[in-house]
């Protein structure tokens, strides 16, 4: 057994299989989905070290490869409708994403100053409460202690998902006329260009090296933010000369799902044992912090979107789900409301929420 689990490919495959099985369990429309892979990694890391004495660790290069694959695929998928949604809705959804993510960041900053728990774990709760895997990736790139960040993310993720789903269910009571709309998904006939995909990565890594002086400190997008910006910009251009940046969404989803599961599995495996041991010290505090941050983000997002920006109800629900980067929340909203309107709000907000998440994460680490 020791020999088998020392093989990183075998270990990752087992971890992802367990995560996928756990992620399919549904309770009142609540599913962990791929994020369950993080929890299976935490379990395997803790169990194998405690019971077998194995100190698990997977090489960082594989982690970075999975990270880049996930970010590029997410960015290219989100880039397809950026121009049309901005033309239709203006900058209202950009402002909404700024306030949803910013409110959570401000709440997290207050908790950091209060020193109720480890500061790095508290920052992790921000990313978990807003269910942001790209934000988690950025934090792990910046953090001297990935286990602390991963702990906060893992503890706050579930209340973060529950907060958005509960919000969608509550709003269902006030907007009954938009229930059960028709499902109209655009057909995507794009192909896949390996050269274009790799060029996005090259440009993104270069962008991530650029430094910006902000608030008296020098910050950069880092590899995570640089690759995301490159994928959004280059994907929205569709074609440059003979090179096409229009990718088939189904192919990108496969890359996204594989990369995300490997990325989350490695986080759980590499940091799980230490993270589980830390739960007893500050787990309850982190749970409360994450729940509070999620609620603050949703409530501020609703007030700003409804009263300041005048975004209509169903579009606003999708926008808040996008601002929270919450796929489970989006799924719950689609079940209750007109899918076209929910997805329009989600798609207009989501890519900018990813960018703001990385910006606020960088600022929290200053």
**Each residue's pLDDT tens digit in the chain (366 positions)?**
677 777 888 989 999 999 989 888 877 666 667 777 878 888 888 888 887 777 777 888 888 898 889 888 878 887 876 677 677 777 899 999 999 999 999 999 999 999 888 899 999 999 999 988 777 877 887 888 788 888 888 888 878 877 887 787 788 777 755 444 444 444 455 678 899 999 999 999 998 888 776 555 556 667 877 888 888 888 888 788 888 888 888 888 899 889 888 988 887 888 777 666 766 666 788 989 999 999 999 999 999 999 999 888 888 998 998 898 876 677 667 766 756 677 778 878 888 888 898 889 888 888
Helix orientation angle between 82-89 and 92-114, rounded to the nearest 10 degrees: 100
Domain boundaries, the chain: 2-364
287's CB contacts (< 8 A; 6+ apart) are 155, 156, 159
Does the domain made of 2-364 have the CATH classification 1.20.1530?
yes
Nearest to 171, CA basis, from 297, 320, 9, 296: 320
CA dist 325 and 175 (Å) reads: 22
Q: Are 98 and 356 in contact (CB under 8 A)?
A: yes
Q: Tokens 């269902």 sit at which residue?
A: 172
Nearest to 291, CA basis, from 134, 159, 197, 191: 159
């Amino acid at each position: 057994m020791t020999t088998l689990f020392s093989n990183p490919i075998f270990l990752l495959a087992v971890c992802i299989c367990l995560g996928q099985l756990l992620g399919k369990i549904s309770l009142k429309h609540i599913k962990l989905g791929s994020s369950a892979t993080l929890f299976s990694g935490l379990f395997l890391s803790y169990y194998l070290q405690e019971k077998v004495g194995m100190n698990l660790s997977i090489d960082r290069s594989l982690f970075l490869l999975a990270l880049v694959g996930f970010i590029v695929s997410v960015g290219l998928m989100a880039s397809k409708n950026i121009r049309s949604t901005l033309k239709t809705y203006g900058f209202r959804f950009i402002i909404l994403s700024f306030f949803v993510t910013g409110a959570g960041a401000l709440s997290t900053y207050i908790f950091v100053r209060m020193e109720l728990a480890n500061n790095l774990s508290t920052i992790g709760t921000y990313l978990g409460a807003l269910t942001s895997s790209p934000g988690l990736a950025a934090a792990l790139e910046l953090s001297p202690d990935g286990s602390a960040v991963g702990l906060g993310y893992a503890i706050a993720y579930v209340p973060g998902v529950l907060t958005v789903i509960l919000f969608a269910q509550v709003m269902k009571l006030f907007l009954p006329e938009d229930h059960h709309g028709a499902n109209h998904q655009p057909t995507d006939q794009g192909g896949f260009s390996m050269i274009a995909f790799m060029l996005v990565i090259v440009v993104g890594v270069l962008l991530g090296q650029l430094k910006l002086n902000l608030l008296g400190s020098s910050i950069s997008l880092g590899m995570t933010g640089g690759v995301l910006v490159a994928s959004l910009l280059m994907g929205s251009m569709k074609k440059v000369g003979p090179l096409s940046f229009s990718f088939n969404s189904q192919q990108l989803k496969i890359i996204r799902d594989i990369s995300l599961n490997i990325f989350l599995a490695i986080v759980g495996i590499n940091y799980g044992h230490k993270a589980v041991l830390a739960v007893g010290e500050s787990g309850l505090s982190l749970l409360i912090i994450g729940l509070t941050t999620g609620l603050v983000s949703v409530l501020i997002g609703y007030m700003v979107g409804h009263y300041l920006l005048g975004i209509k109800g169903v579009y606003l629900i999708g926008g808040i789900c996008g601002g929270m980067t919450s796929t489970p929340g989006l799924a719950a909203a689609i079940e209750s409301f007109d899918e076209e309107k929910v997805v329009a709000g989600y798609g207009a907000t989501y890519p900018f929420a990813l960018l703001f998440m990385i910006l606020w994460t960088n600022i929290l680490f200053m």
